Amino acid sequence: MEVGWCWWVGVVGMMLSWMAYMVCSGSGWGKSERVRRKLRMQGIRGPPPSFLYGNLPLMQKLQSQAKPASLPGPHHSHLFVAHDYTSNLFPYFEHWRKQYGLLYTYSTGTKQHLVVNDPELVREMNRCLTLDFGKPSDVTNRLAPLLGNGILRANGLSWAHQRKLVSAEFFMSKVKGMVGLMIESARPMLSQWEQSINEVGSSGEVEVEVQADLRGFSADVISRVCFGHSYSKGKEVFSKLRTMQKAMSKQGGFLFGLSGLPSKVNLWRRKESEMSKLEREVESLIWELVEKRKREGRSETSSRNGKDLMQLLLEEAKSDESVGEDLSKKFIVDNCKNIYFAGHETTAVAASWSLMLLALHPQWQSAIRHEVAHFCPNGIPTADSLPNLKKMTMVIQEALRLYPPAAFVSREAYEDIQIGNLLVPKGVCVWTLIPRLHRDPDIWGPDANEFKPERFSDGVSNACKFPQAYVPFGVGNRLCLGKNFALVELKVVLALIVSRFSFSLSTSYKHCPAYRMIIEPGYGVHILLHRI
């Protein structure tokens, strides 16, 4: 019995030694150590990694110790403007920034990462247009159920091809023609708010959770302008995508591999079957809409404004005879998922943060209301009047500075990449933490945490010491292709709201920025509406 036990111990020991050797000498630990050595030779430091897991155990520990990014209500405005949520949502990045500065390296398992928050290097990243500097593979693999192989996940020539196709839908010349549809989409929401005020009688005040309503409005806009149908037809698609988003965002560190560690609170693997089911349901719903579109032909939206995105996708899939039916279907469905998600979620969140800040700062609310009254007859914006809304633009720019929906610019070097004087070795993932860059007092001044739209009175180029540090829509050749669309939509909906209502923040509002793939109000935005 004792001999048998010793034999098994020996076998297990040999197996563990063999596994360790393979990891260290093969493409794993040894390769990662060589990459770290290349970075150290350039003066880049970082936390020492543990064997196999790298810095993941410390990241998970710091995340579990972080206080919730919230403040008890009711609030006063000075508590909000001073509330920097990066240390709550991403405590490991703040912990290492204090130790190593604006440029440092860390590892997740055998994957090496480089954090770049130096504005000069961000400018160089903006100039880096090579296709070998794309989305990190680890991240895109985790996002596959939600985004398929659409434009947000794709890399290389596949991404370039899809961007060329999709970007045509969002040129400013075309976006201007969408203003009327945006107004149509907003009317049901505004009418609902007005009806609610009428029902309360003489008080004329009603509490509204605006984030949910703005999400419905934004979803309707993207449905109409890109797919030729209203939100009611795609409502179930949006609902299931939202469910997938929430499931994937359990534990804010899933992008960095925290969900890959063995843990009682790690729900990622338990959710895999649920995610697969949701993925199949979403794809089936989208294909039903596509098939209906095929049967009905071009919609009223298409005939009125030229080809919409759905029409372009259908024609592209049909034109490539070398691609089979299954791949053509996947091309259409994946890009629909990408536009459905990115086209409505980020804009709704940006509008929600903007209303929260305007509710806290009534003087700016009044300023843009007077501006809208002057340039927009009856409070109805037009494509020609929108460029005149200078104060509105300043408010939106400041809201995107303090609360950018996207938390990161993320890239992976698929070959050795030169960024300024920095050589990024092949396989390294580069991260820029946008909220930290947007709140750096060395860039924006001592009032970096304050809501001061006037800093943008002379444009972005004069708003801070390093204009390249303002990146709410990303950097480089992967700059958000929906930038023009989002800014026009934000101006339209804010103009319509401030021309009809005055509003203040409700005492039931809880300030809790949450990271769910984008930075959004954790408990919605509750405001008190008064009709003007």
DSSP per residue over 173-235, as a string? Answer: HHHGGGHHHHHHHHHHHHHHHHHHHHHTGGG-EEEEEHHHHHHHHHHHHHHHHHHSS-HHHHH
Pick from 262-266, 366-370, 485-489: least confident = 262-266
pTM, two decimals, is: 0.87
In the three-class reduction of DSSP (H, G, I as helix; E, B as strand; rest coil), residue 501 is classed as strand
pLDDT tier for residue 169 given thresholds of 50, 70 and 90: confident
Query: How many domains does the chain fold into?
Result: 1
Higher pLDDT, 25 or 277: 277
Beta strand pairing status for 429-433 and 111-116? Answer: parallel
Residue in the block written with tokens 């860390």: 106
Residue 423, beta-bridge partner list: 418
Supply the pLDDT for residue 7.
Answer: 46
Say if residue 21 is exposed, middle or buried (CB neighbours under 10 Å; 0-12, 13-18, 19+). Answer: exposed
Higher pLDDT, 245 or 296: 245
Q: How far apart are CA 226 and CA 384, in angstroms?
A: 22
Is residue 185's pLDDT more than 70? yes
- For residues 108 and 30, which has the higher predicted lDDT (pLDDT)? 108
Distance (Å) of CA 331 to CA 242, 315, 334, 343 = 21, 11, 5, 17
Cβ contacts of 437 within 8 Å, gap of 6 or more: 117, 119, 122, 443, 469, 471
Q: What pLDDT score does 162 carry?
A: 86
Q: What is the pLDDT of residues 419-444, one digit of tens each?
A: 999 999 999 999 999 999 999 999 99
Task: Assess whether pLDDT exceeds 60 at residue 8.
Answer: no
Please indicate whether residue 249 or residue 73 has the higher confidence score (pLDDT): 249
- What gap in Å lies between CA 90 and CA 241, rounded to an integer? 24
* Model confidence band, residue 253 (pLDDT cutoffs 50, 70, 90): low
Q: Per-residue pLDDT averaged across 487-492, rounded?
A: 97
How high is the pLDDT of residue 413? 96
Predicted confidence (pLDDT) at residue 158 exceeds the cutoff of 50: yes
Mean pLDDT of 189-195: 96
Write down the pLDDT at residue 306.
60
Band of the pLDDT at 69, cuts 50, 70, 90?
low
For residue 26, the model assigns a pLDDT of 46
Q: For the residues 217-237, what does the mean pLDDT come to?
A: 82
**Predicted pLDDT at 302:** 45
Residue identified by tokens 């947000």 is: 152
Tell me how far apart the alpha carbons of residues 262 and 271 are, in angstroms, rounded to a whole number. 15
Q: Which H helix or E strand runs over 408?
A: strand 408-413
Q: Look at residue 308 and tell me whether its pLDDT is greater than 80.
A: no
User: How much is the average pLDDT of 80-106?
Assistant: 88
> Does pLDDT of 13 surpass 60?
no
18-22, 266-270, 487-491: range with highest mean pLDDT: 487-491
Rounded distance between C-alpha atoms, residue 358 and residue 360, angstroms: 5
Instruction: Check residue 345 and give its pLDDT.
Output: 86
- Give the pLDDT of residue 225: 82
Residue 361: is its pLDDT beyond 60?
A: yes
Q: Indicate the pLDDT class of residue 70, thresholds 50, 70 and 90.
A: low
Q: What is the pLDDT of residue 481?
A: 87
Q: Omega before 381 cis (within 30°)?
A: no
As a whole-number percent, the residues of the chain with pLDDT over 70 amount to 83
Q: Count of CB atoms within 10 A of residue 421's CB? A: 9
Residue 478 per-residue DSSP state: G
Least confident of 27-41, 315-329, 428-442, 498-512: 315-329
Q: What is the model's pLDDT at position 372? A: 97
Tell me what the mean pLDDT of segment 414-419 comes to.
95
Task: Residue 134: give the domain boundaries.
Answer: 2-531
User: What is the length of the chain?
Assistant: 532
Read off the CATH number of the domain in which 279 is found: 1.10.630.10
Range scoring the smallest mean pLDDT among 158-167, 292-301, 325-334, 400-409? 292-301
> For residue 470, what pLDDT is reported?
96
Name the β-bridge partners of 409.
Answer: 432
Q: Where are the alpha helices (DSSP H) in 209-361?
A: 210-227, 231-248, 272-296, 300-305, 309-319, 325-360
